[in-house]
Amino acid sequence: MSILINEKTKVIVQGITGRDGSFHAKQMLDYGTKVVGGVTPGKGGQEVNGIPVFNSVKEAKEKTGCDAAVIYVPAKFAKDAMLEDIANGIPLIICITEGVPVLDMVEVKKALAQSNCRLIGPNCPGLISPGKAKIGIMPGHIHKAGDVGVVSRSGTLTYEVVFNLTAQGMGQSSCVGLGGDPIIGTRFVDVLQMFQDDPDTKAIVMVGEIGGGDEQLAAEFIKKHVTKPVVSFIAGRTAPAGKRMGHAGAIISSGDSTAETKMQILRDAGVTVIDFPDEIPQALAAGLKK
Amino acid sequence: MKIHEYQARNLFVEYGIPVAQGDVADTPEAAVAIAQKTGFPVVIKAQVLVGGRGKAGGVKVVGTEAELISEFKRIKALNIKGYTVERLLVAKAIDIKKEYYLAVTIDNIKGDVVIIASADGGVEIEETAKTHPDRIIKFYLGGVKSLDEARWAPVAAQLFSDIRLQKSSTAILQKLLKLFFEKDCSLAEINPFVINGEGNLIAADAKVIFDDNALDKHPDEIAMRDMKYEDADELEAKEKGLSFVKLEGNVGCIVNGAGLAMGTMDAVNLLGGKPANFLDVGGSSNPEKVLNALKIILRNKDIKVILINIFGGITRCDDIANGILTALKQINIPVPLVIRLTGTNEKEAKALLTSAGLTTFTSMRQAVTEAVKATK
């Protein structure tokens, strides 16, 4: 099993006619994901890589029966793209777009709260259930099917972690990139719960970074609800205080958000915290033996 | 993006939030002219974008023209946490009867706009939040862009016993909210929010932070940026779609993605080196970005090696490889390049670089070790 997506998930691509949208639609198809349609207003009737393009999410849903949508539109259109998915009851929405204004996300969160939809992102790499489906921008070939669940706030750092797992023969059940923005649809605790409940996930890797309070909430949650071994890496130990490191989420707002503090809080919750991404496989193996 | 108090105060004036009469001055003469209009005593405040200016001696109440001139000169000569003082805000001193706290910001975890209010305002507000969290009121808007006055009324009554102040504070809060939403802020704060000698509410300080992701919509806000607080290289990098922060070390880093860029800096440090910078080339990078990144990094004369660490996702490794090859033709790179490429279009990238005689690594630890070795 896997969480959130599998070989049956039918995906539409919003922004499929753009450079990134078309490239990654093809990559997803090649991986085996059921990419059933694309949406670009005004370009309905066209085809991209053999995928039919529709004018609206409504039309795409009626014609394809999709149950997931992935968004590659520019930042200023991202809010409307997400709201359109929510209005049409798309159960799983993945927003890859970065640079979405925070107040746009406040609106999206309200719409989400009144719906049964789940949002991953924005500013995220998406998610993959290796061997089954990938929705997002991660390179498929570095993954391998298996029983380690990976959840992360970062994109490329997640690939680094997965690369090391696969190199040591440790496959993944699912890998979820939550996104680096201050307001995101799905947080560590949500995914930790799913991995805890997934019988095919035996251990969990959590990749965090400086800034915000999500790792602290995750630590509390792990202490109370997670019985599977958790290994964590926290990026940003050498980041200077108060400096933005690209992510809005990666701002050191208070002493409680430093990498060292987060590492300690996670250790106190029973998590194995390692210093270098390539130390994760060994730490997992040790955790699984216990 | 942070702005100065006087700029935030101008926004308060624009939105009708009461402030003490005054203006910003860059010379003692200009300060005297302002004080003559407002009348003494006046408070003069250094305009710097770093905290702790009061403790550094950057705020002073003065009663006479002679005192104003000497104190203005003293504060203007201060260096506050590495920054010189260019301007001072000169405003009529307020006869403060009581200090409150009022702010609008975003609770990221809840994903909602929150009003934070307290009857214990002033510089100790953060301490109060820790020791007496019950004295801090948090009021969530619930995803809407307006205040439900019926729901707010009991909160206003909790803050102010006087009905007149309940009403005027609510009116000011409405204006603060309007400013917050129209200007796409991440913070609009009045601290202290005070009752003056006449018994009226007035903003004794002004703090506004804009959402960087919304700046494209607001050219007026971009124009408020104080260039002195921006590193020229960092600004240029931003214009070119790169995210760059200069550090103290000698290992130049070019990485894709903020998380991996931080992870790479940590790895350099862990393996005995010192990162010279944070540089994220961002997603879907075109070859031009690598050239620009190399140009910016090479301005730092401390650099002994450049470590390129790319894990291709939305970034395609062959784009990066082409960028490196273009750069090698166009600019002189006097230090060794250590290149690690893996992920999307990795094979194409490695073929390109190998045929140009460059070595590439697949393992991050190996590449970082190699880069650190080059600095010794």
* Minimum distance, in Å, between the CA of residue A128 and any CA atom of chain B: 13
SS3 annotation, chain B: CECCHHHHHHHHHHCCCCECCEEEECCHHHHHHHHHHHCCCEEEEECCCCCCCCCCCCEEEECCHHHHHHHHHHHHCCEECCEECCCEEEEECCCCCEEEEEEEEEECCCCEEEEEEECCCCCCHHHHHHHCHHHEEEEECCCCCCCCHHHHHHHHHHHCCCHHHHHHHHHHHHHHHHHHHHCCEEEEEEEEEEECCCCCEEECCCEEEECHHHHHHCHHHHCCCCHHHCCHHHHHHHHCCCEEEECCCCEEEEECCHHHHHHHHHHHHHCCCCECEEEECCCCCCHHHHHHHHHHHHCCCCCCEEEEEEEECCCCHHHHHHHHHHHHHHCCCCCCEEEEEEECCHHHHHHHHHHCCCCEECCHHHHHHHHHHHHC
User: Looking at the DSSP assignment, which residues form a beta bridge with residue A204?
Assistant: A149, A230
- φ, ψ (nearest 5 deg) of residue B342: -155, 160
Give me the percent of chain A exceeding a pLDDT of 90.
83
| Residue of chain A whose alpha carbon sits nearest to that of B316 | A139
Which of A75, A93, A120 marks a domain boundary? A120
Confidence category of residue A104, pLDDT binned at 50, 70, 90: very high
Confidence category of residue B211, pLDDT binned at 50, 70, 90: very high
User: Mean per-residue pLDDT for B286-308?
Assistant: 92
Are A174 and A253 found together in one domain?
yes
Are A114 and A147 found together in one domain?
no
Answer yes or no: is A130 within a domain.
no
Q: Is the pLDDT of residue A257 over 90?
A: no
Q: What is the pLDDT of residues B351-376, one digit of tens each?
A: 999 999 898 999 999 999 999 999 98
Structure tokens at B255: 């990485």
Say what the alpha-carbon torsion angle B116, B120, B124, B128 is, to the nearest 10 degrees.
-70
Q: Is the pLDDT of residue A246 over 70?
A: no
Are A255 and A151 found together in one domain?
yes
User: Mean per-residue pLDDT for A69-86?
Assistant: 97
Q: Pick the residue of A156, A181, A244 with the most B CBs within 10 A to test the interface with B by mutation.
A: A156
Q: Is the pLDDT of residue A51 over 90?
A: yes
Are A111 and A181 found together in one domain?
no
In terms of residues, how long is chain B? 376
Answer yes or no: is A201 within a domain.
yes
User: Mean per-residue pLDDT for A234-246?
Assistant: 69
Answer yes or no: is A132 within a domain.
no
User: What is the domain count for chain A?
Assistant: 2
Q: Is the pLDDT of residue A184 over 50?
A: yes
| B-chain residues near A238 (CB < 8 A) | 247, 262, 265-266, 268-269, 275
pTM: 0.90
The pLDDT value recorded for residue B235 is: 83
Domains in chain B, CATH or no CATH each: 21-92 (3.30.1490.20), 98-222 (3.30.470.20), 231-375 (3.40.50.261)
The pLDDT value recorded for residue B199 is: 96
The pLDDT value recorded for residue B128 is: 80
Q: Is the pLDDT of residue A203 over 90?
A: yes
Answer yes or no: is A5 within a domain.
no
Are A107 and A176 found together in one domain?
no
Which of A94, A120, A146 marks a domain boundary? A120
Q: Is the pLDDT of residue B22 over 80?
A: yes
CA dist B135 and B129 (Å) reads: 7
The pLDDT value recorded for residue B343 is: 87
Q: What is the pLDDT of residues B249-267, one digit of tens each?
A: 999 999 998 899 999 999 9
ipTM of the complex: 0.86
Contact A101 B109 (CB under 8 A): no
Answer yes or no: is A70 within a domain.
yes
Are A66 and A146 found together in one domain?
no
Q: Which of residues 206-225 of A touch B (CB under 8 A)?
A: 207, 209-210, 212-214, 217
Are A251 and A171 found together in one domain?
yes
Preceding amide of A125 cis, omega within 30: no
A272-273/B83-84 β-pairing: unpaired
Are A102 and A142 found together in one domain?
no
The pLDDT value recorded for residue B123 is: 76
Are A209 and A152 found together in one domain?
yes
User: Mean per-residue pLDDT for A209-232?
Assistant: 93
Contact B278 A246 (CB under 8 A): yes
Q: Which of residues 176-195 of A touch B (CB under 8 A)?
A: 180, 182-183, 187
Q: Is the pLDDT of residue A244 over 50?
A: no
The pLDDT value recorded for residue A254 is: 41
| Cβ neighbours around B113 below 10 Å, total | 23
| One-letter amino acid for residue A101 of the chain | P
Q: Is B372 exposed, middle or buried (0-12, 13-18, 19+ CB in 10 A)?
A: buried
The pLDDT value recorded for residue B132 is: 84
CA dist B36 and B30 (Å) reads: 10
User: Mean per-residue pLDDT for B226-237?
Assistant: 84
Q: Is B230 labeled as catalytic in the residue annotation? A: no
Least-confidence region, from A113-127, A203-217, B282-296: B282-296
CA dist B311 and A32 (Å) reads: 22
Contact A246 B211 (CB under 8 A): no
Structure tokens at B369: 């070790």
Q: Pick the residue of A27, A168, A238 with the most B CBs within 10 A to test the interface with B by mutation.
A: A238
Preceding amide of B336 cis, omega within 30: no
The pLDDT value recorded for residue A250 is: 33
Q: Is the pLDDT of residue A213 over 90?
A: no
Residue A277 DSSP label = G
Residue A56 DSSP label = S
User: Mean per-residue pLDDT for B316-340?
Assistant: 93
Q: Is the pLDDT of residue B56 over 70?
A: yes
Cα–Cα–Cα angle for B117, B123, B129, nearest 5°? 50
Q: Please name the helix (run of DSSP H) or strand (run of DSSP E) that holds residue A22, with its range, or none.
A: helix A19-31
Are A283 and A150 found together in one domain?
yes
Q: Is the pLDDT of residue A248 over 50?
A: no
Structure tokens at B154: 């009991």
Q: What is the pLDDT of residues B102-144, one digit of tens each?
A: 999 998 888 999 999 999 887 778 778 778 888 889 999 999 9
Q: Is the pLDDT of residue A271 over 90?
A: yes
Q: Is the pLDDT of residue A255 over 50?
A: no
| B-chain residues near A75 (CB < 8 A) | 213
Q: Is the pLDDT of residue B283 over 90?
A: no
Domain containing residue A65: 10-120
Asked whether the CA dihedral B69, B73, B74, B79 is positive or negative, the reply is positive
Structure tokens at B198: 């006449």
Give me the percent of chain B exceeding a pLDDT of 90.
77
Contact B260 A105 (CB under 8 A): no
Are A168 and A278 found together in one domain?
yes
Confidence category of residue B284, pLDDT binned at 50, 70, 90: low
The CATH number of residue A17's host domain is: 3.40.50.720
The pLDDT value recorded for residue A241 is: 62
User: Mean per-residue pLDDT for A160-170?
Assistant: 95
| One-letter amino acid for residue A83 of the chain | L
User: Mean per-residue pLDDT for A136-141?
Assistant: 92
Confidence category of residue A170, pLDDT binned at 50, 70, 90: very high
Contact B313 A137 (CB under 8 A): yes
The pLDDT value recorded for residue A242 is: 53
Q: Is the pLDDT of residue A253 over 70?
A: no
Answer yes or no: is A127 within a domain.
no
Using alpha carbons, select from A246, A258, A234, A239 the residue that is nearest to residue B247.
Answer: A239
Answer yes or no: is A204 within a domain.
yes
The pLDDT value recorded for residue B285 is: 62
Q: Is the pLDDT of residue A245 over 80?
A: no
User: Mean per-residue pLDDT for B217-240?
Assistant: 88
The pLDDT value recorded for residue B238 is: 84
B305-312/B251-255 β-pairing: parallel
User: Mean per-residue pLDDT for B177-195?
Assistant: 95
Cα–Cα–Cα angle for B95, B76, B220, nearest 5°? 80
Confidence category of residue B286, pLDDT binned at 50, 70, 90: confident
Are A114 and A215 found together in one domain?
no
The pLDDT value recorded for residue B336 is: 94
Answer yes or no: is A1 within a domain.
no
Cα–Cα–Cα angle for A176, A180, B189, nearest 5°? 145
Using alpha carbons, select from A178, A143, A147, A181 the residue that is nearest to residue A162.
Answer: A143
Q: What is the pLDDT of residues B71-97, one digit of tens each?
A: 999 999 999 988 899 999 999 999 999
The pLDDT value recorded for residue A249 is: 32
Strands in A34-39's sheet, in edge-to-edge order, are A47-48, A51-54, A34-39, A10-14, A68-71, A92-95, A118-120
Cβ(A271)–Cβ(A232) below 8 Å: yes
